Amino acid sequence: MRTVALITALIGLVLTIVPSLFVFLGDVSWGDHAQLMFIGMILWFIFAPIGMKKKEKKGVGS
């Protein structure tokens, strides 16, 4: 389950960054890029907490 969530979260990150490269190259419109980034954001915030969940040790900071 964690692996699936992690892969889905990573797809979210890919959707965040890759479309902008195509906007720069002129292959994707700004509107599509903004929509894909939105979907990427949703995927990341739903699946990253599940994927990154592990038995917490005491944190670094104080």
Partner 1 sequence: MITERLDALYEFDREPVSKDNLHGIGKFIGMYAGEHVAGTEFVIGALFVARGVSAPDLFLGLLVGNILAVLSWAFLCAPIAVKTRLTLYWMLRKICGPYLTFIYNIVNALMFCFLAGAMISVAATAVGLPLNMPMPELQDMFPASITWIIVVFCVGFVVTSLAILGFEKFANFAKICSPWMFLVFVAAALAVLPKLGLTSFGDFWSVANEKIWTGIPVEGQSKFTFWHVMFFAWFCNMAMHIGMADLSILRYARKWTYGFTSAFGMFLGHYVAWICSGILCAAADVTVAPGPIAFMGAGIAGAVCVVIAGWTTANPTLYRAGLALQAASPNWKRWKVTAAAGLGTTIAACFPALVMRLLDFVALYGLILMPMGAIILADFWILPKLGLRRNFAEVTGSKINWSAGISWLVTLVVAFLLPLEIFFKGLPGFFIALVLYVILSSIEQRKKHKKILSEEF
Site for partner 1, residues 3 to 22, rule: CB under 8 A = 12-13, 16-17, 19-21
Nearer to partner 1 among residue 4 and residue 34 (C-beta): 34
Q: Which long-range contacts (CB under 8 A, 24 or more apart) does 36-40 make?
A: 39/12, 39/15, 40/11, 40/12, 40/13, 40/14, 40/15, 40/16
Is 62 near partner 1 (CB under 8 A)? Answer: yes
Cα–Cα distance, 47 to 6 (Å, whole number): 7
Q: Which residues bind partner 1 (CB under 8 A)?
A: 12-13, 16-17, 19-21, 23-26, 30, 33-35, 37-38, 40-41, 44-45, 48-49, 52, 58-62
